[in-house]
Chain A
Amino acid sequence: MKSKLFVFLFAMWGLIIVGGGIIVTILGPISISGFGEFDWFLASVIKAVIAIFLVVIWILILSKIKNWIFKKEIKL
């Protein structure tokens, strides 16, 4: 049982590294122009929406991994 927890920990770590890469790749280059002083605000809103969407996907994937690793234990 305990080894499965280590596997789950490692999987979470992997997801954080990969998720970080996606965030830097997608969010990093986003910049808006043509709205004057609202440029940074609009860019922030777009980044926020994408970040929330990515976090939701991250949680869903983590949930699937959890169910897969602990399928026996979760049915306790």
Chain B
Amino acid sequence: MIDLLIPAIISCIVAFFIVFFMTPPLIKILEKRNFAVKDMNKKEDIMVVRPGGPVILAGIIASELVLYAFLQMNEILAILITTSAACVIGYVDDRKVMGGWFKPLALAIAAIPIIALGAYDTNLAFPLFGTVQIPALYLILIIFMIPITGNTINSIDVLNGVASGFMVIASFSLSICLFIVQNYEIAIVSLPLGFVSLAFYKYHKVPSKIFPGDSGALTLGAMYGAIAIVGGVEIIAAIALLPAVINSFLFLSSVKRVVEHRQIKGKPVEHTKNFLLKATDDKKAPVTLVRLILAGGPMSEKQVGYAIFKLTVFSGILAVITAFMIGVSL
């Protein structure tokens, strides 16, 4: 454990400061190239550059390579390749609008390195009841896990700072859980995800200076999913991600098909005169987490973000409780 301390500290510093120092130059480059979109939740015509995915990936690659130099684990390579592939997939979607099935299919292919490198264990651990061995079924689970986590984080990237702030809480919760289940090496491998998200949050929070774009959101989500698989904490990871899972579940159960957000006709949220967010009465609009939060009355973008963060902290606590329960058998 002690011998892991130095690589852990170095990788966390690298992860945080690469994103912290590289994001401002990236913002300038994107501004020069006019890669900007209108921030729909601002009264004035404010343009925000995107995507921040490349800088997030740079932080992840550098920090994980530091860890690989110390630990030389196949699991790190699997996480790196899957995460990089997810970033490329997201970048393609940032530059060119792809169909609703493109991302899930491409992300399923991005999960293959985890299988090819054998960076998984076919035992699925459940709290209180022990483990179940599902050799063939587990391969299907891996193929599904990366598209689910990637698209889940992407679907919650609707307001300034929400995706990155959400990932800070969820990934640190997952790291704590990995320490609790005594999977120390993967716990340390997971730490850069939280630090990369934290550094990016500084520029993504209200008012955003940069959006992560699909490349950023898919990078964060895919890395989270890959860590869950190689760390053998799939159920715990799903629990820490519950607010985003709820968002996807509400969306899919109201739309009843896999569809890109931009293809949805009804608007779930609109603005009041003083530009607060409020839920619409539009029957065609999908039910989303933000819409349910706003059902109680109009709120500012910042308030909605904090409401989502509170839910994420709650699910993080449930994940930690679950991690303690993994070691208990009925």
Contact = CB atoms under 8 A, between A and B. Distances in A.
Interface of A: 1-2, 4-6, 8-10, 12-13, 16-17, 20-21, 23-25, 27-28, 40-41, 44-45, 47-48, 51, 62-63, 66, 70, 72-74, 76
Interface in B119-144: 124, 126-137, 140
B279 interface: yes
B137 A51 contact: yes
Contacts of B325: 17
A21 B314 contact: no
A63 B250 CA distance: 9
A9 B292 CA distance: 13
Interface string B93-122: 000000000000000000000000000000
A42 to B, nearest CB: 10
A24 B311 contact: no
A6 B132 contact: no
Contacts of A28: 130, 132-133
A11 B281 CA distance: 27
User: Could you tell me the dominant secondary structure of chain A's interface residues?
Assistant: helix
Contacts of B130: 24, 28
User: Could you tell me the dominant secondary structure of chain B's interface residues?
Assistant: helix
Nearest to B238: A16
Contact of B293 (A1, A9, A27, A40): A1
Interface stretch (B32-40, B75-83, B157-165, B241-249): B241-249
A27 B242 contact: no
**Shortest 5 CB-CB contacts between residues of A and residues of B:** A20-B126, A1-B296, A44-B136, A24-B129, A73-B295
A16 B287 CA distance: 22
Contacts of A62: 249
Nearest to A49: B137
Given A9-B311, A10-B318, A70 B140 contact: no
Given A5-B292, A9-B315, A66 B253 contact: yes
B205 interface: no
A32 to B, nearest CB: 12
Given A2-B296, A74-B287, A24 B126 contact: yes
B41 interface: no
B239 A23 contact: no
B204 interface: no
A40 B296 CA distance: 52
25 contacts: A1-B293, A1-B296, A5-B246, A5-B289, A5-B293, A8-B246, A9-B242, A9-B246, A9-B314, A12-B245, A13-B318, A17-B126, A17-B128, A20-B235, A23-B129, A24-B129, A24-B131, A25-B129, A40-B135, A47-B136, A48-B137, A51-B137, A66-B253, A76-B280, A76-B291
Given A10-B318, A20-B235, A24-B129, A47 B134 contact: yes
Given A5-B311, A9-B318, A62-B249, A23 B126 contact: yes
B29 interface: no
Contacts of A23: 124, 126, 129, 132
A38 to B, nearest CB: 12
A49 to B, nearest CB: 10
Contacts of B10: none
A47 B293 CA distance: 38
B307 interface: yes
Contacts of B238: 16
Given A62-B249, A73-B292, A44 B137 contact: yes
Contacts of B140: 48
Contacts of B293: 1-2, 5
Contact of A6 (B137, B281, B283, B314): B314
B235 A16 contact: yes
